[in-house]
Amino acid sequence: MPELPEVEVVRRGLARWITGRTVAEVQVLHPRAVRRQPAGAGEFAALLTGATFGSAQRRGKYLWVPLDDGETSMLGHLGMSGQLLVQDPATPDETHLRVRLRFTDGGRELRFVDQRTFGGLAAEQAEAGDPEATPVSLAHIARDPLDPRFDDAAFAAALRARRTTVKRALLDQTLISGVGNIYADEALWRSKLHYDRPTESLTRPLAATLLANAREVMNAALAVGGTSFDSLYVNVNGESGYFSRSLDAYGREGEPCYRCATPIRRAAWMNRSSYYCPRCQRVPRPR
DNA sequence: ACGTTTTCCTGAGCGC
DNA sequence: TGCGCTCAGGAAAACG
């Protein structure tokens, strides 16, 4: 699934391929793809038609593209299986094509393709007059660790103030954004922390180490993923294939830990999985 | 107010 | 061959 590094690759592709282009026509082929649009597909199409795109922005796994009216943005999230493709109009429709944007220049069109429709698009207002304004609906989303304005000390303090467990906190978008199940497990493995470790038991240095490791693993993935964005379309192939070879914990059930050779375990966790080394990442003592 | 659980979706893979 | 079941999981609504 697209994680933060893949979304950043998409952002760069959008910036390259749709900036400065004017929307001629909007087709919503599946209403669920614009379910976040308060008044539905008609409103989505009306707000975008005739607008010219600015340069794509990102926070965590959210993308948005400012419009030339200075206050509206097209907001997008890829969910689990979403793709934003810049395709030649002659290219046959994809099986799960949900939204199509045609441009006045008659060139490549923007397509939102999403099998599971966990992702979606919307057009909405941001605060006028602020060039760095984020869409209103993203106000509660924390900055991500690759954001230069991410506040490390404030994160550590907020993390330690929570009364929950560390992996839940890592996936909490109001605390830190852009960390999904894969990178949460990777950051915990690098930090030798068990996913059920209570946040209140984290020392300041441990919190700092965990953040540094999350940032490192995402930067490493971005460095590898950056090679694919020069293609002719904005591509997310739904598999983080180029980075999967570099994963230390996620998806490695039964395979030896790279530190101590103990087989990696997979545990059911919140209707999904957590991968961890039972020796390096000890279960916290119940209290 | 805050932390936890449920819900949304569909195709691949698997056992029988 | 085909049926039913499980799994993948981001994020917000619903719940306690």
Q: What is the mean pLDDT of each run of 10 residues along chain A (287 residues)?
A: 83 92 96 91 96 95 93 92 89 91 96 90 78 82 94 95 94 92 94 94 95 93 61 41 72 92 91 92 72
Gap from A251 CA to B16 C1', Å:
27
- Please give the pLDDT value at position A198: 93
User: Residue A80 has what pLDDT?
Assistant: 84
Name which of A171, A16, A41, A200 is nearest A107 in CA terms: A16
Q: Model pTM greater than 0.75? A: yes
Q: What is the pLDDT of residue A127?
A: 67
**How far does the CA of A246 sit from the C1' of C4, in Å?**
36
Token pair of A260 as six digits: 């101590």
Instruction: Report CA A15 to chain centroid distance, whole Å.
Output: 17
Per-residue pLDDT tens digits for A108-118: 999 999 888 88
* Domains of chain A: residue spans and CATH: 4-138 (3.20.190.10), 152-276 (1.10.8.50)
**Rounded distance between C-alpha atoms, residue A264 and residue A255, angstroms:** 6
A252 C-beta less than 7 Å away from strand C: no
The answer to whether A105 touches A21, Cβ cutoff 8 Å, is yes
Q: Which residues of A are catalytic?
A: 2-3, 61, 272
Task: Verify if strand C has an atom below 7 Å from the CB of A95.
Answer: no
Q: Please give the structure tokens belonging to residue A203.
A: 């020392």
pLDDT at A228: 43
Q: Which of residues 120-179 of A touch strand B (CB under 7 A)?
A: 162-165, 168
**Residue A238, CA atoms < 13 Å, CB-side half-sphere:** 12
A90 CA to C14 C1' in angstroms comes to 44
The CA radius of gyration of chain A, in Å to the nearest whole number, is 20
Please report, in angstroms and rounded to a whole number, the separation of the first and last CA atoms in chain A. Answer: 36
